[in-house]
Amino acid sequence: MTGKDVAAIRAPTLLVFGDADAVRPGHAVKFFELLGGGQRDGGWDGSGRSSAQLAILPGVTHYSVFASPALPGTVTAFLDADREKAERSL
């Protein structure tokens, strides 16, 4: 997958990495930026946010991220926000 392929993704996307991941945090941020994240201030009302989100979980490696107690809440909040947005647009 190239940077151009990543930038073409339009679906809401959550990227989750560990702070001790095999993927360096700087690389995770570049991936996030390709998805439109981190380009501007999100604003008080969140209207400037992209549909991409980046989570870097503390004390987690690439291999232990799924055992992190922070992962379920992070993923659930992302999925709930997307569901609520879809429900409001109906």
**Higher per-residue pLDDT: 87 or 18:** 18
Question: Which domain covers residue 36, as residue numbers?
Answer: 3-88
pLDDT band at 41 (very low <50, low <70, confident <90, very high): confident
Residue 83's SS3 state is helix
The total domain count for the chain is: 1
pLDDT over 70, % of the chain: 90
Sign of the torsion formed by the C-alpha atoms of 48, 53, 56 and 57: positive
The pair phi, psi for residue 20, each rounded to 5°, is -120, 30
Residue 90 is predicted with a pLDDT of 59
- Give the pLDDT score at 43: 87
